[in-house]
Structure 1
Amino acid sequence: MRVRRKGAAEIRQAAEAAAIAALKVAAQEVPRPPFDESTAAFFDVDNTVMAGASIFYFARGLAARDFFDSRDLLRFGLAHLTYRLRGQENSDGIQDARETALAFVAGRSVAEIVRYGEEIYDERMAEQIYSGTHALAQQHLDAGQRVWLVTATPVELASVIARRLSLTGALGTVSEVRDGSYTGRLVGGLLHGQAKAEAVAALAEREGLDLSRCWAYSDSINDLPLLSLVGHPVAINPDPDLKAIARERDWPVKDFRTARKAVRIGIPAAAGAGALAGGVAAGMALRRRVVSA
């Protein structure tokens, strides 16, 4: 079954929820030095900040914890392999995986999912971070500019990876939470495609950003609305469609895929407490446990 297309109202709701949640989480962090109030940089996550899709690394980590069986892991693995080899996400597939999973996280606590995400980041995702992309983000921070992740990953988890990479914060998909646990519903919808652009616009309005002076980085043609929104779009490890658009519009193109070395980034020297996960894949695990019980 194909994922239904989101309407304009649903996209706006997802965007507003993402902006509000991002600022709420960022406000809880340790105070930072003053930033340039009018500029910021926005980074996609999957295949831009890290090689591959975070949700599949998270699924592997959950499988190692007996959350679901080898057949599910094989399905996740095949999808991830296709994503890595093609360098191009299937938007319907990504939405279906994430949205379907949400139906099964009901009752699971946010703290538990974040805890597993921290562990799995250290085990499987930290070494997948592109050092070149991380260096670009650090350049923006050094220049006094705020740096935000923008991703379909749940905001609670996206915020963890942002913290671990010493970034400002993250805009992500907002799931409904009641009494500290997921209800299994989204607030609006997935932060994907047009919704990402609208979330950045909502954040810019609240923070007084001049989008003509802002940067955006992504690998995917699905993020064309986001890239087109800012004055400085950059294609990172672009899929074929985005690469063609970038050449046509004379956007910078950077490719860190062939030169990437396995560098563990965002891990404290003394401990292995780590960051984010690919998100609501945990929901799939929940369903498998219930079904097999």
Structure 2
Amino acid sequence: MVPRQVEVQVPERPESKVSGLLPAGFVPGRFGARPLVGGRNRNPFRPSDAEVRANLAGEASADVAHALHEAEESSTEPADDEPAPPPDLTAAAFFDVDNTMVQGASIIHFARGLAARKYLKTSDLVDFAWKQVKFRVSGKENSEDVASGREKALTFIAGRSTAELARLGEEIYDEIIADKIWPGTRALAQMHLDAGQQVWLVTATPVELAQVIAKRLGLTGALGTVAESKDGLFTGRLVGDILHGAGKAHAVRSLAIREGLNLRRCTAYSDSYNDAPMLSLVGTAVAINPDSDLRELAKNRGWEIRDFRTARKAAKIGVPTALALGAAGGAVAAVITRRREHLLAS
């Protein structure tokens, strides 16, 4: 069953209007003309472009998640077999996906499935995998890699239907991702469900794929990166930016307002230091399979640490490197398989 689709369009940002001509060295401002400082239009009291994009991404993600949740609740009939636990209306759990709920990077697994279906070139798959390796080893995002990955992803989906992407997500989840769910993290999510709490995924992965993962796991829903769509087709633009860092925190905060949640009673789980804003937003933070920076932060702040990784080769090559090699290994295996099929066909 293809998840319900929600039309998403980029909101227009109103421009400041200042009548008349401005003197040299002045620019329009919220309260009239103001001087141009240092040759650039800088305003320390105004959010940066990156912050604006992060906020837009968070708002869009919360809007989509809340709309889908309401639609799901209105169309779901109560089960007759087992009574549902009494709802805990103000508490929820928020789970990062990559290396927290899913072993490796979900976007890499998705790319493998797309490559097997001839949607992506093998060179694109290797490029995705290499960037993931660099990120997992360094623990830091490279702005050029992020921009490049964003442009390739948007080029791929531009003009495609939202239903097609959701269908591909379901197929690839069943083929690849289902076997890569961390049992320990899944058990934690079930613990919150059994307590009558909402459980949400929060990820930079496209929201269509994130929703599929949440649906398959029986979770409440997902907050993910939102691409603009019109008349059921992707336009090739993001709403805001990729959902990560501060954007995730903004999405969680926005969803909490819509769902009537008390963030002090909520719990967040992640493996990455980049999710510190989200982890710091809730009453209880848990580090799952943490990178070195998050492990240190968790120790300093007294956060619980859970590590479900069994292959402990940290003494030799370091845990982040092992995880990265695992993600890249799957991608390389897919490339080899495709080349072998090509040779046999020829």
Give the equivalent residue in structure 2 for 1:123. 175
Partner residue in 2 for 1:15: 58
- The residue aligned with 2:119 is 67
Aligned position for 1:144:
196
Percent identity, aligned pairs only? 57
**Corresponding pairs, count:** 255
Matched, 1:77 2:129: yes
Aligned to 2:230: 178
TM-score normalised by the chain length of structure 2: 0.69
Equivalent in the alignment of 2:252: 200
Given the alignment, which residue of 229, 241, 257 partners 2:293?
Answer: 241
Q: Distance in 1 between matches of 2:151 and 2:305?
A: 31
Structure 2 residue aligned with 1:133:
185
Determine which structure has more spread, i.e. the larger CA radius of gyration.
Answer: 2
- The alpha-carbon distance between structure 1 residues 234 and 99, as it changes in their structure 2 partners (threshold 3 A), is farther
Q: Which amino acid in the other structure matches residue 200 of structure 1? A: V
Contact 2:226–2:238, Cα closer than 8 Å, also in 1: yes
Alpha-carbon contact 2:165-2:208 (below 8 Å) kept: no
Query: Would you say the 8 A contact 1:40–1:214 is kept in 2?
Result: yes
CA–CA separation in structure 2 for the residues paired with 1:81 and 1:8: 27
What displacement does 1:258 show?
Answer: 1.3
Q: Which structure 2 residues correspond to residues 1-293 of structure 1 after superposition, within 5 A? A: 6-29=49-72, 30=76, 33=84, 35-81=87-133, 86=137, 88=139, 90=141, 92=143, 93-94=145-146, 96-258=148-310
5+ unaligned residues in a row in structure 2: which ranges?
Answer: 1-47, 79-83, 313-346
Distance 1:83 1:255 in 2: 20
Task: Report the more deviating stretch, 238-247 or 203-212.
Answer: 203-212
Please give the secondary structure, in 2, of the residue aligned with 1:49: coil
In structure 1, runs of 5+ residues without a counterpart are: 261-293
Deviates more, 1:93-102 or 1:121-130: 93-102
Q: Distance in 2 between matches of 1:78 and 1:17?
A: 29
CA RMSD of aligned residues (A): 2.1
1:118 Cα shift?
1.0
1:126-151 deviation line (CA, Å, top 9, x unaligned) = 11110100000000000111100011
Q: Deviation string for 1:140-188 (max 9, x for gaps)?
A: 0001111000111122221111010000001111111011110011112
Q: CA deviation at 1:10?
A: 2.1
